[in-house]
Amino acid sequence: MSHEYTDNNGTTFVNPNHCRSFNTTLAGSLTALVNETCAEVVFVNRSGADVLLYDNGYTDASNAFLLADGESLIFRGLTNANQLSANGTGAVYYRTQWYSNSPTR
């Protein structure tokens, strides 16, 4: 979804990279991320403990991605943030975005 903006000089421009930031406190059960259209999610674990991340409805431990406290990760190839779920306890933060500014190697 593109958004039209007007700067202080009255010039109108379109920003196709609509991003949103979120935080949630995990309570020890599987929690889906918000329903927000995006191409990728930057996920930051500040919970004080490990967090397990799942995608596309998988909930089996063999499909989990372990993210230690203080680590961050970018999930790409999404169409919506709610394709990801997290399980753990404590505060986690994430940002949905359309285009990446993160270099790949």
pLDDT given for residue 101 in this prediction: 61
pLDDT at position 84 over 90: yes
pLDDT at position 2 over 60: no
Domain edges within the chain: 3-8+17-97
pLDDT given for residue 7 in this prediction: 76
Fold of 3-8+17-97: Jelly Rolls (2.60.120)
Torsion sign over Cα 35, 37, 38, 40: positive
Which tens digits make up the pLDDT trace of 67-82? 999 999 999 989 999 9
Instruction: Report helix, strand or coil for 14.
Output: strand
pLDDT at position 65 over 80: yes
Burial class (CB in 10 A: 0-12, 13-18, 19+), 39: middle
